[in-house]
Structure 1
């Protein structure tokens, strides 16, 4: 009888396994899985501290203002790129769409004397339509996003050069489209309205991803499209909506770009496609979809610019700036792979 009672009190092997204390690696893994933006935030803080020790001018408000202004365009593009990558897709044409939209806006004002607000709406319509084409090719023709956007990258780049005839379109300061490049000063901190637009863009999209059914469906599709379909989610509709939303964010980026360069330039944003992907990956969003937060992409964009700015202040060769960004990308992808492989 005693033996029977003791056997009942003894923990089952499965229970004993579940009650084992987690290892430090498992605890770290669990935290990083719950908070995708934590690791890039730590990197940003450490980088800022390191570069401030190398050069005390790093923390000067004028320098921080410059960093914020330089990150605005890529930061805006990274919002749309994040939405697409969360679905396990990728967009190699997003920068080319931005340039095409900015040229259209600028030419409508400069050559055809359209009101600035109407030109902005026309540019937004073109950016949204271009991204909808990407989305339809992915959802209806069922082509891989990488191949689709690699092809449309060439198409939209060519359309920009043909439309602009290789020349820059300048706009007068003080117009509606150049408003995004005007500055607002808070003491010695000088921010452009474009920076404020980026902050507002992150707030709106971040709220939509976190607190709406659309956002939850987006994560579900990126995590497992087949499981999402079986749960009653219209996968193709969600995927198409991701590209359309990205098109709207591209329109905002185009407006910010016009304010920064003072018009439309077919040669601007040449590296914006890869820079937006770099910001998203460094910001903790998984290239495999289903995991990440949009604020992480802003942190990722800031990390890249902080390294570029900090290394320049340290007097380093510009080639080391490119090297540092490459190392950051590989490190970010490695962390993502570790988070996916380690079982908590």
Structure 2
């Protein structure tokens, strides 16, 4: 008896190339490599360890915010309040340590708790009322912004304890100085990358983003998961507040005013879908680096900052367009 041959498509199967092309991070990674190659050829200073260390230092605060933003966007939400919450958290940490007499560790803990409370309130309003995440976080942006300026009395807080700026210190790695804060940011990316890809909690997050109703019918406690994600994002914003202090050396009430948009930009450029359920934290890391590389490279080329913003905007529109087209083809 002669065996019936398999159809060609089944015989061939999915190739490695096809799987790579279907991965959301492939496009952003190619874009990052092309950008690095371009700036390496057009500027002499770009391709150096010191410059790459500087890029990571410049994006570590926004990158940390983008981790929390990724958690929210994976559920088809959005958080416009992250930059303002970070700014308020930084003022709480700086003022209670420098003027309130709290030990630095207690001040840091208080800043994390305050930031987490903002996230908790966001999650409760989104899940229990429910209200659209855009509206809730837009309102919370204004609340956090106002509280930052009220509590700081519009004053920059200086003379901080050395413990608050310790993450801004550097250590040598070869001929390059690396900040401890950069390592914290990278460690957070690795931690959340594992949590989302290698745990049942991560699978629940993706299921929630794909279809909240289907997730609920499969036994996932969607309400508790949503509230927990917003609260966890708030904690991450508190860590970003500490990194902000360590980088600037002060508590600045003017900080973070555009970081919410920068974090969304990084998430979108990293291949995470604004419609939820698709993307990764490692993709966000690539998106953060794309933003940092473009701004750094264009600055080295002498391009005015306004054109850097223009190019970033074009990249975001292209990324969302590609995501929309890929979703339509997948239907």
- 2:293: which partner in 1? 306
Write out per-residue CA displacement over residues 33-52 of structure 1, whole angstroms, 9 at most, x where no aligned residue. 3x221111111110000001
Greater mean deviation of Cα atoms: 15-24 or 77-86: 15-24
> How far apart, CA to CA, are the structure 2 residues paired with 1:319 and 1:272?
16
The answer on 1:40 being equivalent to 2:28 is: yes
Alignment of 1:202-213 (within 5 A): 202-213=189-200
**Paired residue for 2:105, among 117, 125, 136?**
117
The unaligned stretches of length 5 or more in structure 1 are 1-8
Partner of 1:246: 233
Distance of 1:79 and 1:293 partners within structure 2 = 10
1:204-228 superposed Cα distances (whole Å, 9 cap, x missing partner): 1111111221111000000111111
Equivalent pair of 1:307/1:321 in contact (CA under 8 Å): yes
Contact conserved, 1:171 with 1:178, CA < 8 A, in 2? no
Cα distance in 2 for partners of 1:23, 1:126 equals 48
List aligned pairs for 1:9-28, cutoff 5 A: none
Aligned to 1:31: 20
1:163 maps onto 2:151 in alignment: yes
Cα-Cα RMSD:
2.3
- Per-residue deviation, residues 242-289 of structure 1 (Å, max 9, x unmatched): 111101111110110000111210101111110000000001111001
- The structure that has the greater radius of gyration is 1
Q: Return the TM-score normalized by structure 1.
A: 0.91
Q: Which moved more, 1:272-281 or 1:179-188?
A: 179-188
For residue 32 of structure 1, report the CA deviation from its aligned partner.
Answer: 3.8
In the TM superposition, 1:1-344 aligns within 5 A as 31-33=20-22, 35-172=23-160, 175-343=162-330
TM-fit CA distance, 1:330: 0.9
Structure 1 runs (4+) deviating above 4 angstroms are: 15-24
Instruction: Give how far 1:331 is off.
Output: 1.2
Paired with 1:327 and 1:20, the residues of 2 have a C-alpha distance of 41
CA distance in 1, matches of 2:160, 2:217: 54
Once the two structures are overlaid, the 10-residue window that deviates more, 131-140 or 203-212, is 203-212
8 Å contact from structure 1 (residues 281, 333) kept in 2? yes
Instruction: Tell me the distance in 2 between the aligned counterparts of 1:299 and 1:149.
Output: 25
Deviations 1:151-199 (A, max 9, x none): 11111100101110111011346x1111111111213211211101101
User: Contact 1:279 / 1:301 at 8 angstroms: preserved in 2?
Assistant: yes
Distance in 1 between the 2:90 and 2:220 partners?
A: 35
**Is the 2:157–2:250 contact (alpha carbons within 8 Å) kept by the matching residues of 1?**
yes
8 Å Cα contact 1:65/1:190 also seen in 2? yes
Between 114-123 and 316-325, the greater mean CA deviation after superposition: 316-325
Q: Is the 8 A contact 1:184 1:191 kept in 2?
A: yes
Contact 1:131 1:243 in 2 (8 A): yes
- Cα contact 1:99–1:265 (8 A) shared by 2: yes
Unpaired stretches in structure 2, ≥5 consecutive residues: none
